[in-house]
């Protein structure tokens, strides 16, 4: 034993840090159209290779190619572009509003707009999403009023959550959007429970769970996978791999090898990866997984490969932990730009119309913002009543809370 | 009937009345649970309403939250209260806060049952009393029945409740009213009046204590197994103690507590859980805040020691009638 060298701890490091030149040469990107489209009742064992590939539809020339190109109508695509542009404009205004002190906190979607916007359009009314804090496209694309979102962000008098929750932790049962916790990973297994309930009830509705690359390391991820697998739950389990968990690169959660999608193999769950910056690919994969779930063929694990082009939240500065030009070097591009170029290529859009649309969308967002701010911003104007914080802890307020509310003077 | 039979009866009544009631947990389905509470339910109501779950408490609680959000009424079993900790995040951060954080958009009517307490030589992993973790978390109701009649009525109330309920079942009481005299023959519920359980959907409301023994000298606040220990201590010391069975810890029945302590002027608090920051600390503070000018003596707590629950030394740890009796004498002498 004296000849045995001492052990050392492996701590993975990202390819580049501030000051380094970004290098994605190790990132294998299949060409668009290269991945087969299996039938929705496929045996997960027969598509294990899909967890190591990436489903892509839009190629470098902005053409929609291959078996996952569904032939979405021009109207559908224009609507998708509009949703992503709305989300980006909304984010920009709210980020500024946070900097102006109108709210405490904000999280933007920059670079990830296709994931939630395209996914939302593949679901049916009555389906339920269990999102994280970076899927507001699920609301925008399903016509949840922007002004109501802003009221929540401002915790103002019209905040549907009465000022109780952090900004952006929306909730809308009506729009299939489960209350965001803010705790990481907890909602993943709740989505499985909702899907199990649908199956128990003989319903046809499905659930979707959402989690980030970093939070897949939480035990809730394992819990969700076990339950989804055991009960063949009608659920789509989405991992949004945006490469960064605050300052921690994806390799810390993933380990040195494999992909996040490959986590599904141990559970016998159909597992695929999709180009998360390709609106058409996300939509096609979501449609496929939704049909699979709705027809009783079981859960699907989808790894959306994307890149968080902005900070994690308004509380961190990405330049402190990653190279500033990594965003520009990201090989899957920008989702809005890619769909825009596709629409131009098929003759449905132009640079001029895009510029006009940007201005019009900005006006819409500003109008919603003005309307929201008329009801106050955090700490300014009419706020939710302090009395309200004692309400809704239970359906009926128990005596000890009545006493505490009186003690507090409300 | 035994407490196990009473609990099973409550499940039967609730499942027959409401298709939304689903029951699951480790070993709960085919086998009917390690304590047999759910025996026969799968056969009667089918595998989709009573089934086995993986050994994953976070998953059991987390899926129940999702089911409740869908509109079902899950009643889940954690095999032992000692095993609940992997599910704590789902209970404390999610189930307890869902109604509040979503302003009622989503609610969480779930019941989380778990056998609690010691007295069965279960060592540190089958004997704990974790009630204070739950009462400390806003948004949870916490219930501890002490007899078959209450077990059925309180469980029916818990299942009907619109909010999450932690339902702690003192496992040493499953088959009889245990008074802490471990060296004496086990008594059964058959001869005990509270072993007579009404048929049908007769609930015992949450938030209401019961006076198990009326007395004028000292108020004993107890719940679960300690109710019988307190009764034994009163009988053995001849001290005329008023024994209050709290039944629900949150919301607490403060009116019954204060009325009794203001009458007796003395208070002893008994629980199995560790002393420091235990539920007895809350009770002691409530009595002090509400009954200070009626108190003739300092409040005394008799509890488990602040150690892990031991195996061979169980009866030195367990707050039995000798320790409770000594406290009664002390409080009467001061």
Distance between A360 CA and the closest CA of chain B, angstroms: 32
Neighbours of A7 (CB within 10 A): 6
The answer to whether the CB atoms of B94 and A195 lie below 8 A apart is: no
Give the distance, in angstroms, between the CA of residue A137 and the centroid of all CA atoms in the same chain: 8
Instruction: Evaluate if residue A278 carries a pLDDT over 90.
Output: yes
- Nearest partner of B231 among B222, B243, B216, judged by Cα: B243
**Token pair recorded at residue B180:** 């802490």
The answer to whether the CB atoms of A393 and B99 lie below 8 A apart is: yes
Instruction: Evaluate if residue A2 carries a pLDDT over 80.
Output: no
Distance between B38 CA and the closest CA of chain A, angstroms: 18
Residue B94: per-residue pLDDT: 98
Option in B56, B89, B207 nearest A186 (CB): B89
Whether residue B251 has a cis bond before it, omega within 30° of 0: yes
Give the distance, in angstroms, between the CA of residue B325 and the centroid of all CA atoms in the same chain: 23
Residue scoring higher pLDDT (A381 or B249):
B249
What is the rounded distance in angstroms from the CA atom of residue A337 to the CA atom of residue A390?
A: 47
For domain B3-195, which architecture applies? 3-Layer(aba) Sandwich (3.40)
Class in CATH terms, B210-333:
alpha beta
Residue B157: per-residue pLDDT: 98
DSSP conformation letters of A323-345? -TTHHHH-TT--HHHHHHHHHHH
Q: What is the pLDDT of residues A306-326, one digit of tens each?
A: 999 999 999 999 999 999 899
**Token pair recorded at residue A343:** 């629409």
- Mean per-residue pLDDT for A4-22? 93
CB contacts < 8 A, A to B, total 141
Q: What is the pLDDT of residues A42-65, one digit of tens each?
A: 999 999 999 999 999 999 999 999
Question: CA A229 → CA A39, A297, B255, distances in Å?
Answer: 19, 11, 50
**Token pair recorded at residue A186:** 């907890």
Residue A180 DSSP one-character state = P
Would you kindly state where each structural domain of chain A is located, as residue ranges? 44-314+321-379, 385-410
Residue with tokens 């996914």, as numbered in its chain = A119
Question: CA A50 → CA A12, A112, A226, A253, A265, distances in Å?
Answer: 25, 22, 20, 21, 11
Option in A200, A222, A398 nearest B72 (CB): A200
**Token pair recorded at residue B77:** 């079993």
Question: CA A193 → CA A72, A234, A315, B226, distances in Å?
Answer: 32, 10, 33, 37
**3-state SS of A102-161?**
CCCCCCCCCCCHHHHHHHHCCCCCCCEEECCCCCCHHHHCCCCCHHHHHHHHHCCCCCCC
Residue A1: per-residue pLDDT: 59
Instruction: Evaluate if residue A152 carries a pLDDT over 80.
Output: yes
What is the rounded distance in angstroms from the CA atom of residue A241 to the CA atom of residue A231?
A: 26
The answer to whether the CB atoms of A197 and B62 lie below 8 A apart is: no
Residue A20 DSSP one-character state = S
Give the distance, in angstroms, between the CA of residue A363 and the centroid of all CA atoms in the same chain: 25
The answer to whether the CB atoms of A171 and B103 lie below 8 A apart is: yes
Sheet containing strand A207-212, edge to edge, reads A128-130, A207-212, A235-241, A300-305, A270-275
Distance between B69 CA and the closest CA of chain A, angstroms: 7
Rounded percentage of chain A residues whose pLDDT exceeds 70: 100
Mutation test of the interface with chain A: which of B50, B62, B136, B253, choosing the one with the most A Cβ atoms within 10 A?
B62
The DSSP bridge pattern shows strands B50-52 and B21-25 to be parallel
Q: How many CA atoms lie within 13 A of A142 on its CB side?
A: 23
What is the three-class DSSP state of A7?
coil
The complex's ipTM works out to 0.97
- Mean per-residue pLDDT for A162-169? 96
Residue A281: per-residue pLDDT: 98
Residue with tokens 């009465």, as numbered in its chain = A162
The answer to whether the CB atoms of A398 and B70 lie below 8 A apart is: no
B139-163: burial string, b at 16+ Cβ within 10 Å, e else: bbbbbbbbbbbbbbbbbbbbbbbeb
Chain B residues touching residue A192 (CB < 8 angstroms): 59, 62-63, 66
- Nearest partner of A271 among A110, A44, A32, A93, judged by Cα: A44
Residue B327: per-residue pLDDT: 98
What is the rounded distance in angstroms from the CA atom of residue A333 to the CA atom of residue A305?
A: 11
Backbone angles phi, psi at B309, to 5 degrees: -65, 120
- Nearest partner of B324 among B232, B249, B187, B214, judged by Cα: B232
Specify which residues A199 forms β-bridges with: none
Chain A residues touching residue B69 (CB < 8 angstroms): 128, 178, 190, 193-194
Class in CATH terms, A44-314+321-379:
alpha beta
- Mean per-residue pLDDT for A18-33? 92
- The answer to whether A372 and A154 have CB atoms below 8 angstroms apart is yes
- Mean per-residue pLDDT for A267-282? 98
Instruction: Evaluate if residue A161 carries a pLDDT over 90.
Output: yes
The answer to whether the CB atoms of B70 and A197 lie below 8 A apart is: yes
- Mean per-residue pLDDT for A82-104? 97
**Token pair recorded at residue B117:** 């307490």
What is the three-class DSSP state of A262?
helix
Neighbours of A186 (CB within 10 A): 24
Would you kindly state where each structural domain of chain B is located, as residue ranges? 3-195, 210-333
Option in A164, A189, A198 nearest B59 (CB): A189
Give the distance, in angstroms, between the CA of residue A242 and the centroid of all CA atoms in the same chain: 9
Residues of chain B with a CB closer than 8 angstroms to some CB in chain A: 22, 48-49, 53-54, 56, 58-59, 62-67, 69-72, 86, 89-90, 93-94, 98-107, 138-139, 141, 162-163, 207, 250-252, 254
Q: What is the mean pLDDT of chain A?
A: 96
What is the rounded distance in angstroms from the CA atom of residue A351 to the CA atom of residue A341?
A: 9
Give every CB contact of residue B60 below 8 A, 6+ residues apart in sequence: B24, B25, B26, B53, B76, B78, B87
pLDDT confidence band for A257 (50 / 70 / 90): confident
Q: How many CA atoms lie within 13 A of A32 on its CB side?
A: 22
- Nearest partner of A392 among B138, B92, B99, B164, judged by Cα: B99
Q: Give the number of residues written for chain A.
A: 410
Instruction: Evaluate if residue A377 carries a pLDDT over 80.
Output: yes
The answer to whether the CB atoms of B56 and A226 lie below 8 A apart is: yes
Give every CB contact of residue B158 below 8 A, 6+ residues apart in sequence: B111, B141, B143, B165, B167, B206
Mean pLDDT per 10-residue interval, chain B, length 334 residues: 98 98 98 98 98 98 98 98 98 98 98 98 97 98 98 98 98 97 94 96 98 98 98 98 98 98 98 98 98 98 98 97 98 94
The answer to whether the CB atoms of B107 and A199 lie below 8 A apart is: no
Question: CA B103 → CA A35, A170, A406, B100, distances in Å?
Answer: 44, 11, 21, 5
Residue A23: per-residue pLDDT: 87
Residue A172 DSSP one-character state = B
Q: Which residues of B are catalytic?
A: 126
Give every CB contact of residue A368 below 8 A, 6+ residues apart in sequence: A145, A146, A147, A150
What is the rounded distance in angstroms from the CA atom of residue B229 to the CA atom of residue B328?
A: 12
**Token pair recorded at residue A305:** 């490969």
Do the domains B3-195 and B210-333 sit in the same CATH topology, yes or no? yes
CA-based nearest residue in chain A for residue B99: A392
């Amino acid at each position: 034993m004296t000849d045995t060298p001492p052990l050392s701890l492996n701590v993975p490091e990202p390819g580049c840090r501030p000051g380094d030149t970004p290098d994605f040469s190790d990132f294998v990107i299949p060409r668009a159209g290269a991945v087969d489209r299996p039938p929705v009742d496929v045996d997960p064992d027969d598509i294990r290779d899909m967890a190591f590939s990436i489903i892509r539809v839009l190629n470098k020339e902005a053409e929609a190619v291959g078996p996952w190109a569904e032939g979405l109508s021009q109207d559908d695509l224009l609507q998708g572009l509009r949703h992503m542009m709305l989300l980006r404009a909304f984010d920009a205004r709210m980020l500024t509003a946070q900097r102006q002190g109108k709210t405490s906190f904000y999280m933007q979607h920059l670079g990830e707009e296709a994931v939630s916007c395209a996914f939302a359009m593949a679901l049916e009314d009555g389906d339920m999403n269990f999102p994280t804090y970076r899927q507001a496209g699920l609301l925008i694309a399903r016509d949840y009023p922007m002004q109501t979102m802003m009221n929540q962000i401002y915790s103002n008098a019209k905040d549907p959550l009465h000022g109780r929750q952090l900004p952006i932790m929306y909730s809308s049962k009506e729009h299939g959007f489960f209350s965001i916790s803010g705790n990481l990973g907890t909602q993943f297994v709740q989505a499985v429970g909702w899907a199990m309930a649908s199956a128990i009830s003989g319903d046809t509705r499905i659930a979707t769970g959402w989690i980030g690359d970093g939070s897949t390391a939480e035990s809730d991820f394992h819990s969700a996978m076990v339950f989804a697998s055991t009960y063949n739950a009608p659920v789509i389990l989405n991992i949004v791999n945006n490469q960064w968990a605050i300052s921690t690169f994806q390799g810390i959660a993933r380990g040195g090898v494999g992909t996040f999608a490959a986590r599904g193999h141990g559970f016998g769950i159909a597992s695929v990866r999709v180009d998360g910056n390709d609106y058409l690919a996300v939509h096609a994969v979501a449609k496929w997984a939704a049909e699979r779930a709705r027809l009783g063929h079981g859960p699907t694990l989808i790894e959306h490969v994307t890149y968080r082009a902005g900070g994690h939240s308004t509380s961190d500065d990405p330049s402190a932990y990653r190279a500033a030009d990594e965003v520009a070097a990201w090989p899957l591009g920008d989702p809005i730009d890619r769909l825009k170029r596709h629409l131009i290529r098929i003759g449905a859009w132009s640079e001029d119309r895009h510029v006009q649309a940007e201005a019009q969308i900005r006006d819409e967002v500003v109008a919603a913002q003005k309307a929201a701010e008329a009801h106050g911003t955090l700490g300014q104007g009419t706020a939710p009543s302090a009395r309200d914080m004692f309400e809704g802890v239970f359906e009926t307020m128990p005596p000890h809370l009545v006493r505490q509310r009186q003690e507090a003077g409300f | 009937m035994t407490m196990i039979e009473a609990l099973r009866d409550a499940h039967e009544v609730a499942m027959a009345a409401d298709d939304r009631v689903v029951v699951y947990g480790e070993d709960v389905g085919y086998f009917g649970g390690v304590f047999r509470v759910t025996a026969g339910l799968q056969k009667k109501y089918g595998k989709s309403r009573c089934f086995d779950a993986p050994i994953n408490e976070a998953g059991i609680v987390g899926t129940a939250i999702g089911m409740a959000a869908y509109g079902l009424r899950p009643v889940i079993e954690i095999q032992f209260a000692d095993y609940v900790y992997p599910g704590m995040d789902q209970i404390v951060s999610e189930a307890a806060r869902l109604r509040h954080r979503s302003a009622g958009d989503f609610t969480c009517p779930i019941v989380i049952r778990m056998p609690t307490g010691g007295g069965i030589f279960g060592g540190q992993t089958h004997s704990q009393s974790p009630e204070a973790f739950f009462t400390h978390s806003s948004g949870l109701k916490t219930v501890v029945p002490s007899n078959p009649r209450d077990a059925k009525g309180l469980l029916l109330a818990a299942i009907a409740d619109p909010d999450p309920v932690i339902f702690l079942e003192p496992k040493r009481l499953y088959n009889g009213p245990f008074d802490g005299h471990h060296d004496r023959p086990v008594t059964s519920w058959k001869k005990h009046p509270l072993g007579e359980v009404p048929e049908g959907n007769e609930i015992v409301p949450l938030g209401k204590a019961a006076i198990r023994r009326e007395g004028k000298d000292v108020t004993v606040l107890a719940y679960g197994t300690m109710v019988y220990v307190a009764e034994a201590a009163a009988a053995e010391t001849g001290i005329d103690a008023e024994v209050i069975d709290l039944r629900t810890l949150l919301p607490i029945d403060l009116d019954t507590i204060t009325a009794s302590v203001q009458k007796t002027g003395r208070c002893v608090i008994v629980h199995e859980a560790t002393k420091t920051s235990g539920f007895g600390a809350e009770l002691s503070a409530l009595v002090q805040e509400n009954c200070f000018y009626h108190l003739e003596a300092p409040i005394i707590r008799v509890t488990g020691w602040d150690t892990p629950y031991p195996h061979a030394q169980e009866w030195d740890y367990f707050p039995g009638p000798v320790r409770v009796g000594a406290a009664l004498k002390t409080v009467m002498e001061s």
